[in-house]
Amino acid sequence: MSTVTTTAQPSAGPRPVCDRTTVGEHLSLPLFRALSGTLAGHPYLKVVVDRAEHTWHLLDTAVHPFHVDYIATRVLGMELPELDACLDSFNASVYTDPERRFLLGVLSLHTDEDPEGRERPFLVLETTEADTMTGPLLEEFYTFVRHRLDGRLPLLLKPANHGQEHELAAISDVRVPRILSHELFGNRTRTPLNPGEAVGRLRHFRTGEEYAAAAGTLGWSDIVAMPCLPDDIPRVAGFINTAPTTPLSHTNVLASGWGIPNAIVRDLERLVAADGLAGAWVRYTVHDDDITLERLAQAPTSDAPVWHQHRIRLRTPLLEDVPALPLDRLRHTDQDRYGTKAANLGELHHVLDSHTVDLTAFHGRPRPPRADLYPHLAARLGVPPTTRGEELRAAARDFTRSTVSAPEGIALPFALQHRFLISSPAVQQGIGKLKMALELDAVDAVDPLCLQLQQLIKQAPMPDEVVREITAALPGGPDAAGRLVVRSSSNAEDLPGFSAAGVYDSITTVHGTGELLDAVRQVWASLLSARSVRLRHQAGISLDDTYMGVIIQRYRPADLGGVLVTCNPTRRVDFRNVYLNCSPGSPETVVDGTALPLQYLYNTVEGGGRTVALGSSAEDLPAGTRQRLAQLALTGRLLQSHFSDTDVDQPLDIEWLMTDQGGFHLVQIRPYAR
């Protein structure tokens, strides 16, 4: 077996003692295992095909984590500082140049079952997601690797992006057998959703009925496992999904905000039976490339989780008598009067109307080893790569305005809810009883008191002046407005260390004055649901400090709706990608888990995207729609530059819908908990 030194140029530095990289050898399964690392739970191996030398390099993964570093230093004899100085042009020479010398890829090992049910290994070859190989080049790459593999190992090519899928469409799948990303993803046994570690009792529920029967016994020390976690799950130590789901579900947003591990573990039934894990104390760990459940000999001695020791601080809500206002008259600083969601939508109007706002800040921060991402942004915006300064900022603003619009609507301030609550002696008495129960930690009394309070709020008459403010704020009045959507906008959500995803109510089918007033009361009442009260109490948020604003919008029909987050939630170090989910119709079907959405990753640096999962859909979206979604993903990244305040790396969570005219309408924008 030869080593890399047989054909490589002299190294720029001392050779690692244990470098097992080989050149020109046929790849057997034992050699693969000797050189491979682990990524997303699967063994993988980096390969470099040198077309000029008609040979290939099998990289020792532990020594050479990056293709380009290996090629530059081991094959071309460059120093690493020299490579860093020309990294973008070097990447272009290996990923986008049609006459490139090197073909770069990854081989990963997977298993399926033969007709007799026996496990059978197979290899998957793919390039990096930014690679622009043409169809003939992909076929050449596949054929070269196929001829150098153990013939007993099946090899499939996985297109790394939508562009490669299009290129391969003209090539027979007999000549180039292939598997799509979503097909491979759908077969994964374990998938990380939110990283973390927890120690707790494993509570495994096979059905919703089993969970419902035991829900009252769940506490902070439990790790809850079931096919589909309910949105109203209490704060516990960890989540495990035993069936496919999306990282953008309400429950995973809660896991992220609470800082608890969450993963898909489809073989949990086998693990529970093999290791006797049901009801046992376990150490549950979720990493980007590994998920483990380790049984503990005994329960831990700690009395409470770390989050019990931290208290969330709220900004002081302002209750002065301010009017209901159109969303486009609000700014981010109005969150203390109208709530976070309403203020962010007002700020979005400002961003889309502004001629001075800077949407390039994310790309302006160095991302080692790149000191400058502006040329990449310019390429995505379709302007010359040398564009800088105000010209680049103007291009970013124009691109954003041409891609998305902000919703019209009105925002009701905290002051209206406050006036309504103090107008009812019965409600005030109920709030006093609830505060006393919380102070005395009378857990059994909290839920019935909350239920009683909610009923009082939903049935209490509104003061005439409150009714007039709500109805007069809508042009033409509620009866002439058609279908309305009424959304929550509290000051006790989207806080560092406290996510309230799915905790407060939104009502999407409202018609006329009577239903509007009922919907507003229902949203106000959701601030006092048993679950929301308990969650805030655990976080040290006082009942006296929490208020609810309300957003009223006209309903807009949508052909497609969804959610995007301006990060890769399953791999937080990935600064390139935006994760986007969608389903036909409104965004609610994505976040509430009623349908498994289509899932996409879009690279906002080098460009390109790929389908991660089809969810409940029978087929992928048309290529033109996926290209439009790529524009939406980039717009989300640009908006992150403005909405992330002092940290442009703080990702956003954006709900959106696509109208029948093909335009994108943003209905919610908020920080994504991480």
Average pLDDT over residues 289-305: 80
Strands, E, within 352-412: which ranges? Answer: 404-405, 410-412
- The tokens for 324 are 């209901």
* Strands 238-241 and 262-265, bridge-based pairing: parallel
Strand partners, 22: 3, 58
Average pLDDT over residues 467-477: 89
CA angle in degrees (0–180, nearest 5) for 189-190-195: 175
Is the pLDDT at 4 greater than 60? The verdict is: no
Q: What is the pLDDT of residue 38?
A: 80
Cβ-contact 503, 531 below 8 angstroms: yes
**At residue 251, what is the residue type?**
T
Q: What is the pLDDT of residue 660?
A: 79
Strand partners, 39: 42
Model confidence at 11, pLDDT cuts 50, 70, 90, reads very low
* Strands 664-671 and 652-658, bridge-based pairing: antiparallel
b/e map 472-509, b = 16+ CB within 10 Å: ebbeeebeebeebbbbbbbbbbbbeebbbbbbbbbbee
Q: What is the pLDDT of residue 370?
A: 78
Average pLDDT over residues 510-536: 94
How far is 86 from 256, CA to CA, in rounded Å?
37
CA angle in degrees (0–180, nearest 5) for 339-341-344: 105
How far is 586 from 435, CA to CA, in rounded Å?
37
Which comes out higher in pLDDT, residue 463 or 596?
A: 463
Q: What is the pLDDT of residue 10?
A: 40
Q: What is the pLDDT of residue 33?
A: 92
Could you read off the pLDDT of 147-185 as tens digits, one per residue?
A: 999 888 999 999 999 999 999 999 999 999 999 988 887
Is the pLDDT at 567 greater than 80? The verdict is: yes
Q: How is domain 556-674 classified at the CATH fold level?
A: D-amino Acid Aminotransferase; Chain A, domain 1 (3.30.470)
Q: Residue 30 half-sphere exposure, CB side, CA atoms within 13 Å?
A: 0
The phi, psi pair for 383, rounded to 5°, reads -115, 165
Q: CA separation (Å) from 89 to 84, 375, 377?
A: 10, 11, 15
Is the pLDDT at 365 greater than 80? The verdict is: yes
Average pLDDT over residues 44-65: 95
Is the pLDDT at 309 greater than 70? The verdict is: no
Is the pLDDT at 16 greater than 60? The verdict is: no
Q: What is the pLDDT of residue 475?
A: 80
Average pLDDT over residues 111-132: 86
Q: What is the pLDDT of residue 85?
A: 87
Model confidence at 12, pLDDT cuts 50, 70, 90, reads very low
Cβ-contact 508, 588 below 8 angstroms: yes
Strand partners, 223: 202, 238
Q: Is 220 exposed, middle or buried (0-12, 13-18, 19+ CB in 10 A)?
A: middle
| Helix segments in 277-388, DSSP class H | 335-338, 340-353, 361-364, 374-381
Share of the chain above pLDDT 90, in %: 67
Could you read off the pLDDT of 445-461 as tens digits, one per residue?
A: 999 999 999 999 999 99
**At residue 381, what is the residue type?**
L
Q: What is the pLDDT of residue 593?
A: 59
Question: Residue 372 in 3-state DSSP?
Answer: coil
The phi, psi pair for 155, rounded to 5°, reads -125, 130
Is the pLDDT at 8 greater than 90? The verdict is: no
Q: What is the pLDDT of residue 368?
A: 77
Cβ-contact 122, 103 below 8 angstroms: no
Q: Which residues, including other chains, have CB under 8 Å from residue 131's CB and lie 6 or more apart?
A: 95, 96, 104, 160, 161, 164
Model confidence at 310, pLDDT cuts 50, 70, 90, reads low
Could you read off the pLDDT of 413-446 as tens digits, one per residue?
A: 999 999 999 999 999 999 999 999 999 988 889 9
Q: What is the pLDDT of residue 42?
A: 79
Which phi-psi region, left, alpha or beta, contains residue 77 (left: φ > 0; alpha: ψ -120 to 50)? left
Q: What are the boundaries of each domain within the chain?
A: 4-178, 190-305, 310-351+374-545, 556-674
Strand partners, 121: 111
Strand partners, 281: 201
Taking all residues of the chain, what is their mean pLDDT, rounded to a whole number?
Answer: 89
Q: What is the pLDDT of residue 615?
A: 87
Could you read off the pLDDT of 647-666 as tens digits, one per residue?
A: 888 999 999 999 878 889 99
> Sign of dihedral through CA atoms 420, 421, 427, 428?
negative
Counted residue by residue, the chain has a size of 674
Top CATH class, 310-351+374-545: alpha beta
Q: Is 38 exposed, middle or buried (0-12, 13-18, 19+ CB in 10 A)?
A: middle
- The tokens for 113 are 């079952």
How far is 23 from 56, CA to CA, in rounded Å?
6
Model confidence at 13, pLDDT cuts 50, 70, 90, reads very low
The phi, psi pair for 521, rounded to 5°, reads -60, -40
Model confidence at 17, pLDDT cuts 50, 70, 90, reads low
Q: Of 9, 94, 85, 87, give the one whose Cα is nearest residue 49.
A: 94
How far is 392 from 2, CA to CA, in rounded Å?
50
Average pLDDT over residues 351-368: 93
Model confidence at 480, pLDDT cuts 50, 70, 90, reads confident
Q: CA separation (Å) from 213 to 123, 201, 218, 261, 388?
A: 44, 17, 11, 24, 61
Is the pLDDT at 132 greater than 80? The verdict is: yes
Q: Does domain 190-305 have CATH number 3.50.30.10?
A: yes
Q: Do domains 310-351+374-545 and 556-674 have the same CATH topology?
A: no
Model confidence at 645, pLDDT cuts 50, 70, 90, reads low
Is the pLDDT at 512 greater than 80? The verdict is: yes
Q: What is the pLDDT of residue 415?
A: 96
